[in-house]
Amino acid sequence: MLLMRSVASAMNGVLSPKKDGGPLYQSLGLERNEWLGADEKNRESLFYEMARPAAGLPFADVLAAAGTPMLYQLYQAQADMLAPMRRMAHFADGLLNQMDLAAPQNLFFREAAAAMEMMWRTSITHERPAFGIKPVVVANHPVDIIEEVVLETPFCSLVHFRKDIAIRQPRVLVVAPMSGHFSTLLRNTVQILLADHDVFLTDWKSARDVPLDAGTFGFDDYTDHVIHQLEAIGPGGHVLAVCQPAVPVLAAVSVMARQDNIATPRSMTLMAGPIDTRVAATKVNVLAQERPIEWFDNTLIGVVPWRFKGANRRVYPGFMQLSAFVAMNFDRHLRAEIAQCRNIVGGDIPRADLHRRFYDEYLAVMDLPAEFFLETVKRIFQDHDLPLGRLTHRGERVDPGAIRRTRVLTVEGERDDICGIGQTMSALDLCTGLPTTMKSHHLQTGVGHYGVFSGSHWAREIYPKVRAVIEMSN
């Protein structure tokens, strides 16, 4: 109770003197329907300090002195140390919520509940959230979705969102990014696609849960996975890549086309992917260019602690990826946290729940294999191998010009601060073997990176374009 009282008293100066001053989304410069997808990416001050090494700020010297291999161990020790306090805060939050917090005389307890919730929720988790896909309407009838794994490797599961219906729908492989968050980040992407398509999704596993004897996982392995997954869903399929996998997916389809693989997809949609990062370079692209690859290896790569399945595996930790995003827009996140406290104290349940859903997903992180991360930085962001015609797969040059029967759609967001305008569209110029009628591009106004594949703009404006391309190719 003393802990709750002290925290609530400290928060009182933040919560009480001010009112919300308008909707949370306006205060963040967002529309309400963009919150879950478009421009929110960041988190708390603790992570900001951890992100500063990645951003090349002065604090890097402190952790550099400890040695990069120790970074993961230091993070895990901190997480373990704070775990009892977070559990106690979680228990206290549940206890307080048994009271009638809506009563005016219980203002102090509402503030205490807000303090306890912020304490236990602002923590990173390494567990994949549930997909929680809702039933969809097919031919005017609600249909339940059944998740089943149809192909599994140590690093990925191919998940089929099966529907027990007699209608045959186009098969679509959705390739999720291996970029620090779990594939559940594409939950809304899959949900929208399911009404008209038979959807498969790459569910990448956190490298810290993959034993060392499973071997390494590099850029070519990612491309091989895409090829094998397209072969698993069978001929006549379609592929949709979101963000980072745009390059390996384009490489995979190029290899399959050159080999006359019967499972070469009929259409390929590339969404907000770094095909050519020389075009409209963003802060992320500039950072990759400013530092040699040795800096990334020495500064960002950690070793999985001994008590996890992937012990001693070299990884790019998910908490580092999250921290880098936090540092990019820290002030916006801080305002969101303060607004959430006011939502809880003020009893604005819908906004509070919306905030919880987004951050519960965003704070679930996965570790990347070091080989894949370093090869991606080197080959895509530093050397620009694909647009310069130097990208290889298993020693053979990747030639997008070999693609002759796969319709291509590229999609970009007007306010994307991760993948600049024109970077994804560059894929159309590389596909020299396709006529103009088989290549199309869509620039979505008013959305950032996440708004390209999630939220209302995705559902109302972008998805119809994707569906039309699949229909024309089917």
Could you read off the pLDDT of 443-471 as tens digits, one per residue? 999 999 999 999 999 999 999 999 999 99
Query: In the predicted model, is pLDDT for residue 438 greater than 90?
Result: yes
CA–CA separation, 317 vs 338, rounded Å? 28
Q: Are residues 217 and 342 in the same domain?
A: no
Whether the predicted pLDDT of 207 surpasses 90? yes
So what's the pLDDT on residue 53? 37
Average pLDDT along the chain: 85
Choose one of 362, 383, 408: the last residue of a domain. Answer: 362
Answer yes or no: is 306 within a domain: no
Residue 160 dihedral angles phi and psi, to the nearest 5°: -105, 120
Number of folded domains in the chain? 2
What would the DSSP string read from start to end of 375-420? HHIIIIIIS-TTTTT--EETTEE--GGG--S-EEEEEEETT-SSS-
Claim to verify: residue 357 and residue 375 sit in the same structural domain: no
Is 80 exceeded by the pLDDT of residue 36? no
Those residues whose C-beta lies under 8 Å from the C-beta of residue 326, and which sit 6 or more positions away, are 41, 42, 43, 44, 47, 48, 51, 333
Query: Coil, strand or helix: which one is 254?
Result: helix
Question: What is the tens place of the pLDDT at every residue in 315-353?
Answer: 999 988 888 777 777 887 788 888 888 888 888 888 888
Q: What is the pLDDT of residue 346?
A: 86
Is residue 16 included in any domain, yes or no? yes
Q: What is the pTM of this model?
A: 0.81
180 band by pLDDT with thresholds 50, 70 and 90: confident
Shared domain for 372 and 358, answered yes or no, is: no
Domain that holds residue 45: 2-123+330-362
* Least trusted range by pLDDT, from 104-113, 240-249, 385-394: 104-113
Q: What is the rounded distance in angstroms from the CA atom of residue 411 to the CA atom of residue 442? A: 5
Q: Is residue 293 part of a domain?
A: no
Question: Looking at residue 103, what is its pLDDT?
Answer: 78
65 is written with which tokens?
A: 């002195």
Please state, in angstroms and rounded to a whole number, the distance separating the CA atoms of residues 345 and 296. 43
Question: Region 204-221: what's the mean pLDDT?
Answer: 97
Whether 168 and 284 share a structural domain:
yes
How many residues are listed for the chain in this entry? 474
Q: Rounded to whole angstroms, how far apart are CA atoms 353 and 219?
A: 38
Helix orientation angle between 330-346 and 2-15, rounded to the nearest 10 degrees? 110
Token pair listed for 404: 């002759």
161 and 99 co-located in one domain? no
- The beta strand positions in 250-339, using DSSP E, are 267-271, 302-303, 314-316
